[in-house]
Chain A
């Protein structure tokens, strides 16, 4: 509930005005929601979960979805190619991991030289994370074999020794860690705490026609982030809400693990849009061949909603 007594969902979806908003399952985004009162109170948007990035992107490009938590470089590329979408806020920071087998001897990234590492796709931000670690540890292109795998298949691939390591967004790292056969080699929290992965992207017509809706969306995403960071109990509550079948459909224990071990595995407190960070991400995307030419910041970012943001106070229903 908000202070105005209205029911609001966070981040990955909501409903009120037939405004579909999409998010990835199990991906790291702030979530404060429960379905119990969804019918009773007005919502900002309807939550739609997509099982893959391409599907989500296509729905967004086609205008079927008006707002989505999307990979930042994907939004850059779409905006540069004339699709009317803009980043209006971040979804979270950090939240990517490099996982290896528990008994594997690797101590640093350099030990992965000549090994096989799974990434979700070469267009994923996790790929940039891997490349950043490669550069930091003196590995060159060709020193690692990158295998593209759907994140849900990665734990099994590691267990079967089909790959030596994998890089992905949570909770697919925590999954293998919780099951006891894998350990974290790197977390973005340790080496790249300001890591940006998912951003809140909105279509231009929504910005033009219903700026107040976009503002509410941003206000509530910020509020959710702030709320998550104010108390460890909030993270537990969020895990319970997000584990619902209609949300992420992952077990409560798994999301709790991601939320709490450690508490800054994924962070939601600082969702500011910082130009220098986006420019760096753009440069890294260019370097990773995710995009094919430099894309100016204002092509894909609309800062106005962050500037006028007033995070609402959130008190989700007691569980």
Chain B
């Protein structure tokens, strides 16, 4: 049942898509998109686009995680850090990466660094937010218990606060990764000749290659799904599992 249900939903959506796209000049049908993907796969460009996007997203997201988690922990634990940084974080958070493009070009030029920077910006803030609230929501009882056992300082962080916040942090990491892929099209407006986002932009610039536009969308979706499956494995760790009232 757990296998049939999602496949059934996907097939249903594909059928609706097929019906809706028949007779449309712009919107391609599923077989046209499949042919588009097959065409890209045979000439080797599909792999190049996927690899380029994976590389940029992984790097941008990775750096975002490395910086967001410590900052979030600081902001969650120290009132002063929260007061100092929260307004800035909230101000920068809603700005679309597209608006950052001119600055990205100015700072990083036209290279892989620009799209990486845009992915970094987009995924950094949701992770800061989740980590901050994760730390803030660690129950008082755990802290009291830790005090009774005389646990303080660094050990308090590693043994109580971080484990306590971990379920929320992991949810934030999942959201961050989703956002990282969400902005890949915008980020790869400044990419040279590769990437799934570039594929979509390039195919829109071409005359009538909307099959490749949707092919890019399908590929991003598929990779997003795969990566989320991996991320959800993290939630199965016993360090995280304790927080879940309902199983999956």
Contact = CB atoms under 8 A, between A and B. Distances in A.
Interface in A60-85: 61-62, 73-74, 76-78, 80-83
Contacts of B204: 54, 58
B206 interface: yes
Contacts of B109: 157, 160-162
Interface stretch (A24-32, A117-125, A267-275): A117-125
Contacts of B208: 61, 77-78, 81, 83
B207 A291 contact: yes
Interface residues of A, number: 36
A162 B107 CA distance: 9
A259 interface: no
Nearest to A157: B105
Contacts, number: 70
Interface in B66-125: 101-102, 105-107, 109-111
Nearest to A63: B25
Given A62-B25, A149-B190, A153-B101, A159 B106 contact: yes
B148 interface: no
A61 B201 CA distance: 17
A41 interface: no
Q: What is the interface residue range for chain B against chain A?
A: 20 to 34
Among A73, A82, A156, residue most surrounded by chain B Cβ atoms (within 10 Å): A156
A162 B189 CA distance: 15
A116 B190 CA distance: 14
Contact of B106 (A73, A82, A124, A160): A160
A125 to B, nearest CB: 12
A278 to B, nearest CB: 16
A81 B205 contact: no
A163 interface: yes
A157 B110 contact: yes
Contacts of B193: 148
A147 interface: yes
Interface string A160-201: 111100000000000000000000000000000000000000
A53 interface: yes
Contact of A121 (B107, B190, B202): B202
A14 B171 CA distance: 52
Contacts of B189: 150
Contacts of B10: none
A47 B184 CA distance: 32
A281 B191 CA distance: 28
A123 B205 contact: yes
A54 B205 CA distance: 5
Given A53-B205, A61-B26, A116-B110, A148 B105 contact: no
A61 B26 CA distance: 7
Given A149-B110, A153-B102, A123 B192 contact: no
Interface of B: 25-26, 101-102, 105-107, 109-111, 189-190, 192-193, 201-202, 204-208
19 contacts: A54-B204, A57-B207, A61-B26, A77-B207, A77-B208, A81-B207, A82-B25, A118-B110, A121-B202, A122-B205, A145-B192, A147-B192, A149-B190, A150-B101, A153-B105, A157-B109, A157-B110, A160-B105, A162-B110
Interface of A: 53-54, 57-58, 61-62, 73-74, 76-78, 80-83, 116, 118, 121-124, 145, 147-150, 153, 156-157, 159-163, 290-291
Which 6 pairs show the lowest CB-CB distances between chains A and B?
A77-B207, A162-B109, A54-B204, A121-B205, A162-B110, A81-B208
